[in-house]
Amino acid sequence: MLYAILCYNQEDVTSAWSKAHDDEVMAKLGVVQERLAKEGRLGPVARLMPTTAATTLRKDRDPPLVLDGPFAETKEQLLGFYIVDCDSLDGALDIAKDLGKANPGGSYEIRPIALFNPGPAGQEPAAP
């Protein structure tokens, strides 16, 4: 069974880190990632861009409403995510609209990501 580990922290704190401090934290994470990779348990690792780069599609409206920034009702929780390759935000919104047609209600947050460690190409992590 694979697990997604969604990392939460205070964005205003982590975005204020100096480059040296950020590099130090990433190096420490790299040690853990290297161990997990050697064990065959590491899949793709993604570092989300800041929430200021997010776009939300409110799919419970007709037509769906596109909002700048993250937005979800407090009764909604993050349940999973898709990683899609698109040429632009519009392409990602088109995919989110298609997903919304298949799974009505709630919202999708569309955020650009910067890969920290994409994992070995074409290699699936082993189940623990």
Q: Give per-residue pLDDT as tens, 64-78.
A: 999 887 766 545 656
Please tell me what DSSP assigns to residue 103: S
Predicted TM-score (pTM) above 0.75:
no
Q: Mind listing the pLDDT tens digit for each residue in 98-110?
A: 887 766 567 888 8
Q: According to the model, what pLDDT value does residue 127 have?
A: 47
What domains can be seen in the chain, in order of their start residue?
11-117 (3.30.70)
As given in the structure block, the two tokens for residue 28 are: 């420490």
